[in-house]
Chains A and B, each alone.
Chain A
Amino acid sequence: MTLEAERLACRRGELHLFEGVGFALAAGELLFVRGRNGSGKTTLLRTLCGLSEPARGQVRWLGQDIRRLDERAQRQMLYLGHQDAVKDELTPLENLQVHQGLRGERSTLDERLDALEQAGLGGCEEIPARYLSQGQRRRTALARLLISPAALWVLDEPLTALDRRAVAWLFGRIAEHLRRGGLVVTTSHQSIDGLPEPRILELD
């Protein structure tokens, strides 16, 4: 189970963000992408999960080109971007259910409630997301990590808007996922003390 990137080059319009980025991430490994604002961290993460097409190079997940994954390989990858994909009109519980439904995943009501409880949303499961704070919306999105069977997590700035306890909880979740043989690619401007020893990729 590996995520491989080969001599990736990306540009946005006329701007060359980075080139020659390559790595192979194996099961149980954490890749931390570091770089100043505008160095292309988000673009790299979007390229790694197949949303953006690289100018050169290739990304392979489970041996397949990331832009042409089959259903099984696609299911094995979970992306969490800058935007939460949390619908204002729906409650956290409904949001979780819809998100799973769209991916064709199944879970019981108890599992979903449990995931929300662990994500620190106990008591808010039935309140439409528009009434929730930014941090609570983020937690709603992060609750997906608890019930998704995906092996590869691509998390873009997952710590935004989270309080200290939620950060500790998320680090714990990431560590457990890695122990079970999962892969994580992430980026953050905040301190990552408390995360298992990551492999670091510098963009400049």
Chain B
Amino acid sequence: MVRPLWTLLQRDISLIVTRRQDVLTVVAFFVIVITLFPLAIGPEPEKLRTIAPGAVWVAAALASLISLDRLFADDWRDGTLEQLALAPQPLALTALAKVLAHWLSLGLPLVILSPALGYALGLQGIELAVLAGSLLLGTPVLSLLGAVGAAMTLGVRGGGALMALLILPLYVPVLILGAGAVNEAMFAAPYQAHLSLLGALLAVALPLLPLAIAGALRITLD
């Protein structure tokens, strides 16, 4: 049971990494969206500091959304998805492995990069750690939610935009908790509650959403 999933994880990561442009596009998108805020709002450090948690989180959510567009699309087009659906292991586990590979290669770079961008917007010390920590807990949830949308809109014309409409509202709780944790840290208030809730969301999403993804994929393949 473990070996097929390991094979899939390795294959997906190596496909994404050898293509390179996927990783570069997502990282560049993340950085550019964040740099738009100072350009639009003005360079006053205090103002930038206030919007920093929200700006980084919104950028991360949008970057996650554009990267998930293609999560299943390639496998669907070349027939690999059919083979995955007919493989001996449950489709939900297969979906989980695909989302994990996607997050490791496209989500984790954002988490690693986030302290640098937070610092550029004026966050410091513990705030940066809380920012990275909240993204570490929150972005996997975004990936799982986005994967449901990606599976539902496979093969639909203009699927990317439709997926954004379906999924962005579901991103709201994660966004509130994630940016909220950093805000709490900025006022030296206890931020642990927000992080715990993010962790709880992840703990719920991890076993349940793969089932939803598998269900959506089966409908697409039918």
Q: Does A202 contact B (CB under 8 A)?
A: no
Interface size on B, residues (CB 8 A): 24
Q: Are A84 and B79 in contact, with the CB atoms below 8 A?
A: yes
Q: How far is the CB of B1 from chain A (nearest CB, A)?
A: 7
List A contacts of B18 (CB < 8 A). Answer: 89
Write the nearest CB–CB distance from A28 to chain B, whole angstroms: 23
As a 0/1 sequence over residues 155 to 190 of chain B, the CB contacts with chain A under 8 angstroms (1 = contact) are 000000000000000000000000000000000000
* Contact flag A102-B78 (CB < 8 Å), given A50-B86, A85-B83: no
CA distance A74 to B3 in the complex (A): 16
B21 within 8 A of A: no
Among A60-102, those with CB < 8 Å from B are 71-72, 74-75, 77, 79, 81-90, 98-99, 101-102
Contact with B along A21-60 (1 / 0, CB 8 A): 0000000000000000000000000000111110000000
Cross-interface CB contact of B86 among A79, A87, A90, cutoff 8 Å? A79
Smallest beta-carbon distance B102→chain A, Å: 16
- Which residues of chain B are near A90, meaning CB under 8 Å? 11, 15
Given contacts A103-B4, A104-B3, contact A51 B85 (CB under 8 A): yes
Known: A87-B78, A102-B4, A102-B83. 11 other contacts (CB 8 A): A50-B86, A51-B85, A51-B86, A74-B88, A79-B86, A83-B82, A85-B80, A90-B11, A101-B3, A102-B8, A104-B89
Check if B86 sits within 8 Å of A85, measured CB to CB.
Answer: no
Q: Is the CB of B84 within 8 A of A79?
A: no
Please report the C-alpha to C-alpha distance between residue A82 and residue B1 in the assembled complex, in whole angstroms: 27
Q: How many residues of A contact B (CB 8 A)?
A: 27
Residues of B within 8 A of A87 (CB): 11, 15, 78, 80
Q: How far is the CA of A103 from the CA of B11 in the complex (A)?
A: 14
Please report the C-alpha to C-alpha distance between residue A98 and residue B87 in the assembled complex, in whole angstroms: 12
In the complex the two chains form, is A83's CB within 8 Å of B77's CB?
Answer: yes
Cα A82 to Cα B90 in complex, Å, equals 23
**Chain A residues near B (Cβ < 8 Å):** 49-53, 71-72, 74-75, 77, 79, 81-90, 98-99, 101-104
Measured between C-beta atoms, what is the minimum distance from B71 to chain A in Å? 15
Q: How far is the CA of A86 from the CA of B222 in the complex (A)?
A: 21
Residues of chain B contacted by A75 (CB below 8 angstroms): 88
- Does B116 interact with chain A (Cβ within 8 Å)? no
On whether the beta carbons of A81 and B15 are closer than 8 Å, the reply is: no
Contact of B82 among A53, A72, A85 (CB under 8 A): A85
- Shortest A170–chain B CB gap in Å is 18
How far, in whole Å, are A86 and B4 apart by their CA atoms in the complex? Answer: 17
| Closest chain B CB from A64 CB (angstroms) | 13
Cβ–Cβ contact B86 & A74, under 8 A: yes
Q: Which residues of B contact A102 (CB under 8 A)?
A: 4, 7-8, 83-84, 87
A-B contact pairs, 29 of them (CB 8 A): A49-B86, A51-B222, A52-B221, A52-B222, A53-B222, A74-B87, A74-B88, A75-B88, A81-B79, A82-B79, A85-B78, A85-B79, A85-B80, A85-B83, A87-B11, A87-B15, A87-B78, A87-B80, A88-B78, A89-B18, A90-B11, A98-B7, A101-B4, A101-B8, A102-B7, A102-B87, A103-B87, A104-B3, A104-B87
- Which residues of B1-21 are within 8 A (CB) of A? 1, 3-4, 6-8, 11, 15, 18-19
CB proximity of A77 to chain B, nearest CB, Å = 7
Q: Collect the chain A residues with CB atoms within 8 Å of residue B87's CB.
A: 74, 102-104
Cross-chain contact B82 with A79 (CB below 8 angstroms):
yes
Within B49-63, which residues are at the interface with A (CB < 8 Å)?
Answer: none
